[in-house]
Structure 1
Amino acid sequence: MKSILVVEDDEMLGAGLCYNLELEGFKTTLVQSFEEAGKKIEEKSWEMVILDVNLPDGDGFSLAKKIRLKDRTPLIFLTACDLDDDILKGFELGADDYITKPFNIKIVIKRINAVFRRTEVSRKELFICGNLEIDFEKRTATKNEKPLVLTPTEFKLLQLFCKNPGKVLTRKMLLESLWDNEGNFVDEHTLTINVSRLRSKISDDTFAYIKTIYGMGYEWTGEKDA
């Protein structure tokens, strides 16, 4: 059962939306303020957030930024404002759809299901962690939706870390894995440099990702503070 957080200050409208979503088999939670929504987002991961732009103690755009710092939860804006600039701003912040009030609940449900279908396909193709999105097949990576420029060795390291979360990868294991088909050799010094460069490209004040295990190697900590 997919969990949906509905952030809507109009209690009657929010309750009606939740009621209809639950008839469709979704599990919903309704909150009516920016503060409440922030707490719920910190408490757990949601499979979708439906977010009103105009809240009594804040705006939905600021909340969307907070959500996007945490993960790539499917996000739909729900608002009475249909100005092009606001709609564009919503999409620039990573919204998956933008629904204006008043709305037809049957159409809203269709659009919610469409977003779920799109994001499920996307998640199968992408490795998503914190503010990183990595496509191993295309050998591309983005941070906060901006492309990362990685060398082949850095990308190979990133792939090894992402596919072994929470495991200590010894320097020996990494060195053996970094041999390529042409037999090009990566020594200890080169490994240290490449890990350092990769770390500098992917980490920031929010996510560290790679933890050094002194005397052993490295560990991919994912979204946890390293």
Structure 2
Amino acid sequence: MGVTAADPHPFSAVEEPALAVRDERGGLLAVAGRRGYRVPVPVAVYDTSDLSCRVLVHSRFPVHAMAFHPALPLLAVGTGRYDGGYFFEGELLLLHLETSETRSLIEHEIGRQVLELEWVDEHALRILMAPPDDWQDKQARVEGHVAVVHRDDWASVLARSLTGRDLAGPRLPAPRPDGREAARQMLVEVTEAWRVQSADHPADL
């Protein structure tokens, strides 16, 4: 069910947005919220035609990256944090948009802090990660490792199936941008576009 034109909070499932990504092809908008103390991070996917929430799941870690698959109903979600003492931990989540099933793909128990995601094509996902830890590594907070993982069918990829070998890659600069302002602006633009459309076509509400 969509929201009404008078609704002042169409993205209330997320509260304060930390990251937002659009899928123009599918008419979808993915929004991740901020993480509170011991509170999981909401990740919601909205239909931009009526601002209805299609999917709502939660992440154990802050969300740094999201990417819609170019052909399949999938959303890759990169999460993670520094544990405060040694490791950069996190998950690469694969969310099926039709079933709401979420799979955590990294085999290692601690995982990796995923910073950026990009679908190179239907079969290849580019993943930028923080180093596994900061032991004797002064550049660990500004550099990372990039890997391009290939799978024939990402919809059938199993949980915990990405190994250390899959995620091995060269070292390169890895900025940690703050996406909150861009996310807020995107939500404003999407909401305003929907309100204009609703005013032009009130019978569609």
Same fold (TM > 0.5)? no
TM-score, length-scaled by structure 1: 0.25
Give the number of the structure whose residues are more often strand, by fraction.
2
Q: Which has the higher contact order (CA 8 A, sep 6+)?
A: 2
Larger Rg, first or second structure (1 or 2): 1
